[in-house]
Structure formats: structure tokens, C-alpha cells
Structure 1
Amino acid sequence: MSTKLIAVVGATGAQGGAVARAILADRSGEYAVRALTRNPESAKARELAAAGAEVVAADLDDEASVRAAFEGAYGAYVVTNYWAPLTPEQEAARTRAEMELEQAETAARAARDAGVRHLVWSTLEDTRPFFAGRDDVPSLDGGRYKVPHFDAKGEADALFTKYGVPTTFLRTTFYFDAFVNAMRPTRNADGTLTISFPMGDRRLSGVSSDDIGRSAFAILKRPDLIGATISIAGDHLTGTQYAEALSEALGEQVMYHAPTVEEYREYPFPMAVEMANMFQFYAENHDQFTGARDLTKIRELNPDLESFATWLGNHRDEFE
């Protein structure tokens, strides 16, 4: 039996790292990992190497490096990082959405040229058809996008088809992991812990980054899924339900605050408008978004799928 090599873009990041770990945990001997990273000497890269991954230097802004890294690979996992730290010069040269589109096209061409037989592209819904004609949702990036970190990925889907790459389109969602970093419960002046996002009583689909990795690996074992769009989540919960689960895990009450999207757009942090538009899409497109993520079917693909409660139990120490 020949070993199938899987090239994983962004292998030291949240999604790519989860894919690499899922493959490394497989004991069948059928698959091997080639971990692509801009810095093979980083601590995370060295950990992957120690676990058995082949670690190579590659950058989605350098097509030759990606083409070389894809050489000989049966499969590939491709993710772009809209939120990657950029220098002022990089910010001035192109928008983040333009960066994602260019990087996705680089990956698609490299996969085509290397003869990759199955690629999983980490993507999201394009929100523009849903918000078409809406003046109440601000347009961003010169009027091109509503939620750039969604829309550019959705737009990039066509690039993999354009270049004839055998692709499965993996639509992800909000990370549970956000509750230990960007959306960590905050303590108010009165001492209460609060989570805050503008979803009202609508359910927010969430998933653990580890389940993105496990699901992607499961897809790479399924050539019958080439051409399919697979949308995943681990739970669909309201803000109140997220707060209740956090309360139980942390041993003290966590409250849910639901500002309006208009209020959220005025919050004093970068990308507040984009994030407000994202939550508005989640809330208003609620039925279709959650409906596309059938937890029973996802669990058939990935039997280890974590609910939010299970994820909290596995990550309780990260809140200390």
C-alpha cells in the first residue's frame, strides 16, 4: 500500500494545525503529512516535525514555493488567513480580501500544476447575494464586499473550478475557540462575566478548530466528495445557551448581552463594522445557515464531533 501524502497549508495555524494533527493521529499508515509553513523553525513547526510531519517552507505569496510543496502530494488542504498580521507596506499594497483571492488563485494553480488529486478548500458563504440591494448593511473594501472575510473566500471557490482542481469545498463557521481569545467573557464593573454579540435570540453555529481538522481529513479519505460543498458545525446555540454552558463550565454566572448591530458597529475595535455585518448575516440568514449544517450528517462524517459542552470540558483550563 502506497502512502498518500497530504500537503497542509498553514500547518502551524488553527485550521491547518488541526488537519495536520488529525492525519498524524491516524494509525493506518495510509497517510502522511507535509506541513507547509512560512517559518519551519517556529516552535509549532518543530512540534509537528517531532510528531512525524515533513515540514517545508512555503508561502502563499510565493507561488513557486507552494508548487514545490505540492509536488508528489495526493491531497492538499488550503486555508487563507484574512486576519494575518500585515506590515503597513503590505496593507497599502492590497486589501485583505484581495490578498485572499490572490493566495487562493496561487494555491489553485499550484495544485493543478502539481497534479493534486483531491484538495479541500476552507471557505465560507458569500454574503452578497443575501444582502443584495440593502442600504442598511454598510459595504466595505470600496463597496465590493459586505463581509470581506466571508465574501472573498466564497468568491475564490470559482478559482478552484476554473483551474480544474478536484476540490471539496469545506464551509466552516464561528470557532468555539473564540471564547478563549477574541470573545473571552469579560468582567463588568459590577463583577459579572459577560459575553456580547448582536445575535438577539438567534442561534449561532459554532465549531471547534479540531473538528475542522477531523472533518477535512475525513473528506480527504472520500474521493466521492470531490465537487461537493460540505458545511460543518458542532452546535447551534443562542447567546443565552452559550452563556449558560460557560456558566456551568466556569462555576460562576456568565451573562449574555445582545447589542443591536448598529450599536456593535460603533464599538471601538478594528473591524467592528465587518464583524457586525457578519453577525447580522448569521442572525438574518439563520434558518439557511444552520440548516446547511446538519449535525447528524456531520457526525456521520466525523464521529468525534464536539458539542460546545464537550469542547468546554476539554478546554476548561484555558479560561484560568
Structure 2
Amino acid sequence: METIRHRLGSLSANLEQLTASYNRSPMEVDAGNRRPKTEHRRFRDRSSVEYSPTHDNLINRKNHTMSNTDNKKIILVLGATGKQGGQVISELLAQDARADLVIRALSRNPESAAARSLAARGVQIYKGDLDEEEGLARALAGVDTAFLVTLPDMKDHQREATRGIRFVDEAKKANVSHLIFTSVEDADKNTGVPHFDTKWTIEQHIREVDIPWTILRPVAFMDNFTANPSKANFVGFGVFATLLIGHSLHWVHTRDIGRAAVRAINNPIEYRDKIIPLSGDVQTLNGVLDAYEKVHGKRPWKAYVPRWAANQLPKDFTKMFQYFRKEGFSTDVAACRKADPEMYTVEKWLAENKNLSTLKCCEALRTTVVYDKSSVEEQRRTTELLKEINYEVLNLANAPRMGHVADTQRNLTMRQLPQDIVNQLEGQGFTVKSCEKSGSTSTSSTATLTCHHNGEPLKFFVKIGEEETMHAEFESLMAIDAASPGFCPKPILLSECEDTSEFAKKLAKVHSDTNRDGLFGFSCPTFCGSTRQENTQTSSWKDFFIEMRLKPLLTQLPQLSSTSKVFLKDIVPRLLDSLRGTSFPIQPRLVHGDLWSGNASGDRIFDPCCLYAHSEYELGMMRMFGGWHSERFWSAYHEEIPKDEPTEEFDDRISMYTLYHQLNHAVMFGGGN
């Protein structure tokens, strides 16, 4: 089945510009040829060693001739009409008394308005591009220093590397004395981001041809946003909020890239064979929004962009954000600012550019969602069928209802009662005697505590849920009680339970254990409740799930014969055939097998019926009976075990896995033969 392809029209219209802003390009890299970490260190060590060749050795290389009769230094700048190349030219032209420089720019169309504007400023325009050697040779003739920036090609992932290598080879032939290449920070760290890998490939080739080089490694551009609130920012902030999930990101203004390049041009000996990291600030998205509010006096709006929509950006782009969330740039901002004290912070950039037009980045942006209608309808049909089957299963006699089982399952017991609540009550002179069920909600766990205070019995109602939700309810009860005492339960205390993110990480560690044989199943049969589960091992998760889990239950529920045909022949294959893991293909991962809140206490789990399965199989039971409401829990878990692709079908897959346990309860407690 073709993956469902939604994409934000507002972003796709500006996609090349946005992705290029990160100075990364997509290229598929053979995993078998990935660079060893020792090699990274070798190159980094080489770049940090002091190297002091003579000026003649650097500038007047063997067979190098100057085509300019006035012996002026010729600088060729690529990407002259873009962000980085444009800043290099602006910084070069801003230098006083530099009549010794000749600035060239390469342009596909010398008659374009942008090219004519450069020509009017004294820049020599040469026709050509990175796809043809003849034009490059003409532009590089007699050049002393070349500034190379390469842009992505979304249709051909390897094209940027090919273009970059072609330019380096032509520069070598032309005896260019100094090549400045703008790469990307952490290019050498095996990040798994194709954008970064492409830059690393070009970096390696530069070293191989033995041309004096300087490599700039910038981070994310402040220029990705406009300096004023705009439609571009409205969408962009939403995407960043969804994909960064509160993590910090390093930022640099492209002007700082231009200034770094010019310092290297002016001081070729000092910058020879040096890697220059460039980061002027590190901020979360909220930090960026705070800076906007400080500069503009009000906080900008951001669009709500659901995860499935944000993930329809190019895969290289989403992989980059995965890296930002897991690792992030390792740049030493203090060292960068020590090397260039004038580097921009986000706030300084916003303040300095406050009055610039906001039209430059938002003209083509819209907030429309563009999608493949047939694929969306197919997904919608699957979702609706799952709901119908779910409803039919739940209506079997005594089958528990998803989201309404808290009356019997979601209530707290003494062993599940957070110790912090007990400690605080006892600190106020109360002795906790018992913990009993007390109703339910779909988003919280509840209990009634019986306590003694000075010999008198008292009862307290306890509710545990998401931090923000509980805080809001606590403050609301306080407000009502203050306005009309006795009209609502008076809140006694608001307590923070233990951090469930540690539990999430421990569970993710279990799910990270894979079967080395590559087989789904287990070494022996297991029991989920009273149901015996066969675990004959197989290399196909779809076959295992259908044959070892679903069919044995469905044969005991003849009422579902017509439904089961649709479920087994349409829904399950559709959802599992399109399944792609972060380490394709889906790997057999160790799961508990029956993980609901009753089989966990504190940071321990018990009563397992293990198997090697698709890791999301575990989440069906966890979502069915609850106990894990916290967004903090799920964020921590998915940081370690990301949702598999296609992520827009994640909820449907969890519903499918939940149905297995609902079928099991229907067999055990009613509805079966």
C-alpha cells in the first residue's frame, strides 16, 4: 500500500528555501560504507593543529597563474543570490579600501534581476551552474579563493554530493589557492541524517584532493523565520513546536556565516585546514517566542500542526528533527562567541531586523493542507471499520468497554497509591487506613482514602492524572470554595507524583532488546489471563499476529464471523503491510505482553507473558486499561522508541492491537462458546 502522503501546502511551497536554510541536502548513504568514528577524530584533530605555511606556499601554488593583470585577488562566490553566498558578497563589498579584490558570482541566468543587481554593485557575473564543467572552468579561471555552498535536490538525493565534488575537482584543476566550504555542524558524527551525510561526503573529497581548505559548520538559521510575525512564522512555529517537543536548538544568523567566510578570505594562512563551528545562540522554541514577545511587545501565534502532518515533510527533514530531539548539536556557543563577540543572538537578530518587510518569506505560504485524497479516504475507511469492529466486540456479553473500565480496573489500590500523598497526609497528623475504588474518568485514576485523625475517621478523595490537568482542577476547586464555601469538595493538597519518565525509559529499554534470530514469537507458550497463547516463531510479524493471536480467539467468537473476515483480510494486512520501522524492517522486540496498570507498581512490572513482537503491540494493552496518562511518560518513551512509519496510522495500529485484548476478554468473560 502506498504510504499516505499528506503535506502542508504552506510548507511545500517554500520547502526548498526552508530546507536549504539548514544548509543540508538529502542523499542516500550506503549503511555499509558509513564512516568510522576514528576517522572523524583524525580529521578533527588535523583541523585543530596549528599549521603555518608560508604565504607563498599558500597563494602561489605550483602552476598557479593569475589571469588578472593587476594582480588583484579574485574571489568566486557560489549561491550569490541566496542567504549564505549573498551575505558573503555583502560583507566583501562592505570592506573599506579593498580595491585589491575582484568578486565573481556564478549564475544560471546572468540576465535575471538578482544577477543584474549584483552586477550593478560591481560583481562580475559568470554564466554557469554546478551541473556543467565548462561553465565552472570559465568562472574558476584565475580564482584565488572560492566559496562553495551546495543546495538540496529533493528529487535526487545524491545530486548535491555529485555537484559539490564536481566543483572541488574543477577548483583543483584551476589551481584555486583556498576553498571555503559551508557544511553543517556535526556532519562527522554518524547522525543518520542524510542532509548531514551529504555534506560529510563533500568534506572528505575536499581533503582527498589536497586543496587548502576552510570548512564552516553552521547550525540552524535564525533566518528560517521572518523577523516579524507573519504567516510564515505562524506555520513554521507550529512545525517546530511539533517536531522539537520542547528541545533546545542552536541558532546562527547567516550574516555571521558571511563574516566568518570573509575572515577566512582575508586570513588564509590562519584559517588553512580549519573547521569553524558557528552557533550564536541556543534556545527552545519557547525561548524564540519569548524573544519575539520582548521585541514586538506581544507573543506571536503559532499554528497547531499535528504530528502526522509535520511528518509529511521530506524524510530527511524529519530525520534531522529526530536527531535534534535525541542528540542535538554539540556546538560550544561560548567558544564561538569568544572567536566572534559580535555574533547574533536570536533577540539581537529580531531587534535589528524589526522593521524589515515580512513579505520575503510568506508570499507563497498558505495554511492549507494538501493531501492525496484517495489515500486519506482509504485511511478513513480503515479507521471507521476499526470503530465498528470495536463496537461490535465491546457489545459481547460482559466484554469490558475501552475507556470505561475504570470502575473495575482503573481505581487505585494501596500498593499503587503514590507514597508522596501518604507522607504528606501523615505529616499533617492523618493515618491512612485503607484505599478503595471511587468512580473513574477516562483520563485519571481515582480512590477514596479512609484516614484517622485524633481518633476520628475521615475520608479523602484522591485523583491522579496529568500534571497540568490536575493543577487546573485544583485551582478551579479553590476558586469555587473561596466564592461559596462548602459548595464543592475543598482541595487539601496538590502533590507531584513520581516522575514516570524513568518508568518509560525502563520500558523502552525492554523494547530495545531484539531477537537476534530475527523471529517473532517466544521460546514457549504463554498465558494472558487464562488464555493459552502459542508462540511458534516466524519471520513475519503479520503472519504471527494473525495466526498466533487473532485467529485462535476469533474462532471462539462465531458472532464475529463476518466481521473477522474484514478484519483479517483487509484491516490487518493494510496496516501491517505498510509498516516501516526506524530501523527498517520492523524488528522483533521483547514486550511484556499483558502490561496494564494492575501489572505494574511504582517502577516495577510483573505477571508478564512475554514475546518478541512489534513494540507497538505492547501499547494496545497499556492504552486499553490505562495507568499511563502523562504526556511526560509518552514523550520520554517515544524519545527512545519513536512511532513507526507511517506515523499517521499509529492510532489505528494501537486500536488494532487493543482489539486483540478486547477479543481475549470477550472469550474469557463472556461472548465466547
TM-score, with normalisation over the residues of structure 1? 0.79
Aligned residue among 246, 258, 267 for 1:213: 258
Matched, 1:203 2:272: no
SS in 1 for 2:103: strand
- 1:186·1:195 contact (CA, 8 Å) conserved in 2? no
1:1-320 alignment runs, 5 A limit: 2-29=71-98, 30-82=100-152, 91=155, 95-96=156-157, 98-125=158-185, 129-131=189-191, 146-180=192-226, 184-186=232-234, 196-223=241-268, 224-254=270-300, 264=307, 266-267=309-310, 269-271=312-314, 273-286=315-328, 289-291=330-332, 294-299=335-340, 304-316=342-354, 317-319=356-358
The CA deviation at 1:121 is: 0.5
Partner AA of 1:10 in structure 2: G
Alpha-carbon distance in structure 2 between the residues aligned to 1:187 and 1:258: 8
Change (3 A) 1:269 1:198: closer
| Consecutive unaligned residues in structure 1, runs of 5 or more | 132-145
Alpha-carbon distance in structure 2 between the residues aligned to 1:214 and 1:297: 15
- 1:77·1:120 contact (CA, 8 Å) conserved in 2? yes
SS in 1 for 2:282: strand
SS in 2 for 1:289: coil
SS in 1 for 2:232: coil
The CA deviation at 1:126 is: 5.7
- 1:104·1:159 contact (CA, 8 Å) conserved in 2? no
Deviations 1:241-266 (A, max 9, x none): 1110112233321367999xxx7465
Larger radius of gyration: 2
Alpha-carbon distance in structure 1 between the residues aligned to 2:283 and 2:300: 15
Alpha-carbon distance in structure 2 between the residues aligned to 1:169 and 1:282: 22
Partner AA of 1:103 in structure 2: R
Change (3 A) 1:4 1:183: farther
Deviations 1:17-62 (A, max 9, x none): 1111111111232322101111111111111111111111120001
SS in 1 for 2:129: coil
Change (3 A) 1:100 1:249: same
Partner AA of 1:315 in structure 2: N
Alpha-carbon distance in structure 1 between the residues aligned to 2:304 and 2:282: 17
- 2:235·2:303 contact (CA, 8 Å) conserved in 1? no
Alpha-carbon distance in structure 1 between the residues aligned to 2:337 and 2:180: 21
What's the % identity of the aligned pairs?
Answer: 28
**Which gives a bigger RCO, structure 1 or 2 (Cα 8 Å, sep 6+)?**
1
SS in 2 for 1:185: helix
SS in 2 for 1:6: strand
Partner AA of 1:186 in structure 2: F
Aligned Cα root-mean-square deviation (Å): 3.0
Alpha-carbon distance in structure 2 between the residues aligned to 1:187 and 1:172: 24
The CA deviation at 1:117 is: 0.7
Alpha-carbon distance in structure 2 between the residues aligned to 1:298 and 1:258: 39
Change (3 A) 1:283 1:258: farther
Moved more, 249-258 or 276-285: 249-258
Alpha-carbon distance in structure 2 between the residues aligned to 1:239 and 1:312: 14
Change (3 A) 1:298 1:285: farther
The CA deviation at 1:279 is: 2.0
The CA deviation at 1:225 is: 1.4
| Consecutive unaligned residues in structure 2, runs of 5 or more | 1-69, 360-673
Change (3 A) 1:27 1:127: closer
The CA deviation at 1:269 is: 4.2
SS in 1 for 2:182: strand
Alpha-carbon distance in structure 1 between the residues aligned to 2:317 and 2:296: 26
Aligned length: 285
Change (3 A) 1:23 1:197: farther
